[in-house]
Amino acid sequence: MANAKMPSPFKVRGKWRGQVSLKNGQRPSKDFETYRDAKQYISDTLSERKTEHKPRLGGPTQTTLTEALTYYAGLYTVNKGGARAELNRINHYREGAGFQPLSIVLDDKGAKALQESPRKRGPSAFENHNVERRAVRQATYQRIAKLARMMCSTLSKADIRELMADMEREGLSASSIQKEVALLRHVFNMAITEWNWLGFSNPAEGIKLGKSNQRFVFVTPAQEAALWKALGECDNPYVGHWVALALETTLRPGSMNALRWDQTDLENRVAFTPSKTGPVPVALSQTAVKVLQNMPRSACGKVFPMSANAMDLAWDGARIKAGLPTLRLADLRHLSATRYARRGLTAPQLQKMLGHKSMTMAQVYINLVQNDMLDALDRVESSASVYSIAPLEGQSAADVQKARRSERLAQAVAKKVLAKGSASPNAADNASAVAKMATETAPDTALEKGPEEALRASLAADLSAQADQAPTYPVAEKDAEHITEAPRATGTDAAQPFEPRTSGRVIHVQFGKRG
């Protein structure tokens, strides 16, 4: 049978496009400046398809998201410094699809490998906390379970965006959302570049992520005392030593768990440990040396002969017992860095201790401490300014606000009455009476209006009841003419005559716009 004719490039928007139709229905294409390059692309694509370079897992049309994540975990995650955190996110999809979670183990040759294992139950307090956490994130876990069962070829940007919306709506941090999308994006990028998923479009590519806030943790002396008390009650005697050494060395949890005695030199006060940024020497403080000297040594050679999961479970029980359920093991690194900055370590020294390649984060801790001016403020407190602020005396802020606005309104009314009736010998007394009456009778709804409307609302009833019986209030002839010609404030076109009247303590006033 004759071979099928090779497709030819064609012009699209001034460029030559090479496009190939594959048996799986995909049509990968690429644009080039020259016809020759486009032709070569077609030839290379077809040649690759005819060789043994078949897509891993059968390609995106035959692979669910869970299968892709599991394959990715075995190739990449298992060897990462932050493997446990990433594997935990992958396990959410596995459990959502009905599979057991994966855990990292060492094979016969000491190499890392993955194996399925059911989740171990932790302390009852932690299990209750975990149940409550899942209860408030039901939509997120349901969305993950839905995506986990979908074929990769059917995933779209809208699916990823809906997952992000659920996570944000249920209170997950911007950092957690970023890590979730970054994981999916990298899985699909590896599928395209290394798994031979030709023609597949990354659904997580191009999605803009929000900026995450830096997490800083502060623990009061009372909280720290409660934490150490809870740590002292742990069954495992290594837990307290683990926390103390973490605070003295600023090491990440993974690096702490990897410490070995044959890589620790107490005499020269240095320990070598793998870290997220590669193997680094860790300078040991005198306190750190004392902590290590007082620890029992295990025959396995590890400084802390327990699994990471065992440490997590012990920590979860201790932090909940101490009343600090949100304090993470990773937060000990932030607490330690802040304390060393307070003790006077410079940014370069702190950078080296943290094992960072840049000084950015070290400078953040330095600035954080420089902004902590409590001691300096206390020293100058004796010469501080004195402020006179009236206490609320049991009243609510809303009641005080209403009373002050009513008083301000009354003062404005009195000032206007004095200006209008300054010729009267009783003007001051009448203005005082108006101010008092306005203060006592102004309803709450009137306070939301302007001064003229507020006054009208507060005195309308009294004006209506006494207008006919009140005697004429004497005014100067010039002032009377002005008031007669003034149009009403209600906006009527024709000017209406008005005769100011008074009855008892209340002056009847009509405000108007000057002609």
Q: Residue 374 — very low, low, confident or very high, per pLDDT cuts 50/70/90?
A: low
User: What's the rounded mean pLDDT across residues 445-449?
Assistant: 46
Residue 30: DSSP 8-state: E
Determine the pLDDT at residue 307. Answer: 86
Burial 361-370 (b: 16+ CB within 10 A, else e): bbbbbbebbe
| Averaged pLDDT score across all residues of the chain | 77
Longest dimension (CA), the chain: 123
Task: Judge whether residue 438 has pLDDT over 70.
Answer: no
- Do the beta carbons of residue 266 and residue 292 sit within 8 Å? yes
Q: How confident is the model at residue 304 (pLDDT cuts 50, 70, 90)?
A: very high
Q: Where are the domains of the chain?
A: 10-50, 65-195, 221-378
Tell me how many degrees the CA angle 55-58-59 measures, rounded to the nearest 5: 65
pLDDT at 453: 55
Q: Is the pLDDT of residue 466 over 60?
A: no
Q: Are 508 and 467 in contact (CB under 8 A)?
A: yes
In this predicted structure, the answer to whether residue 11 has a pLDDT above a threshold of 70 is: yes
Sort residue 141 into left (φ over 0), alpha (ψ -120 to 50) or beta. Answer: alpha
Min mean pLDDT across 56-60, 231-235, 343-347 is at 343-347
pLDDT digits over 115-132, tens only?
Answer: 888 877 766 766 776 777
> Would you call 454 exposed, middle or buried from its count of C-beta atoms within 10 A (0-12, 13-18, 19+)?
buried
Lowest mean pLDDT among 100-109, 364-373, 420-429: 420-429
3-state secondary structure of 215: coil
Q: What is the pLDDT of residue 457?
A: 53
Question: Quick check: 501 pLDDT over 70?
Answer: no
Give pairs for 503-506: CB < 8 Å, separation 24+: 503/466, 503/469, 503/470, 503/471, 504/433, 505/429, 505/430, 505/433, 505/434, 505/436, 505/437, 506/430, 506/433, 506/434, 506/437, 506/459, 506/462, 506/466
Question: Which of the residue ranges 80-84, 162-166, 255-259 would you say has the lowest mean pLDDT?
Answer: 80-84
Of the listed ranges 245-249, 296-300, 421-425, the least confidently predicted one is 421-425
| pTM across the whole model | 0.51
| CB atoms near residue 88 (< 10 Å) | 11
| Assigned fold of 221-378 | hpI Integrase; Chain A (1.10.443)
Q: Which of 384, 382, 401, 383 is nearest to 392 (CA)?
A: 401
Is 90 exceeded by the pLDDT of residue 292? yes
pLDDT at 173: 84
Listed range (50-54, 217-221, 379-383, 404-408) with the worst mean pLDDT:
50-54
Mapped onto helix, strand or coil, the DSSP state of residue 501 is strand
Identify the pLDDT of residue 78. Answer: 87
Beta-strand (E) ranges in 354-393?
A: none
Tokens of 350: 């702190």
Reply yes or no on whether the pLDDT at 310 is more than 70: yes
Q: Residue 506: its pLDDT value, please?
A: 45
Give the highest mean pLDDT range of 143-157, 202-216, 426-440: 143-157
328 CB-contact burial (10 Å; exposed 0-12 / middle 13-18 / buried 19+): middle
Task: Write down the pLDDT at residue 140.
Answer: 94
pLDDT digits (tens, 9 = 90+) for 33-58: 999 888 888 887 777 665 546 788 98
Torsion of CA 276, 345, 322, 140, to 10 degrees: -40
Contacts (Cβ under 8 Å, ≥6 apart) of 297: 261
C-alpha 307/C-alpha 246 separation (Å) is: 16
> Is 245 or 476 the better-scoring residue by pLDDT?
245
Q: Closest Cα to residue 336, out of 362, 303, 314?
A: 362
Name the band, by pLDDT with cuts 50, 70 and 90, for residue 22: confident
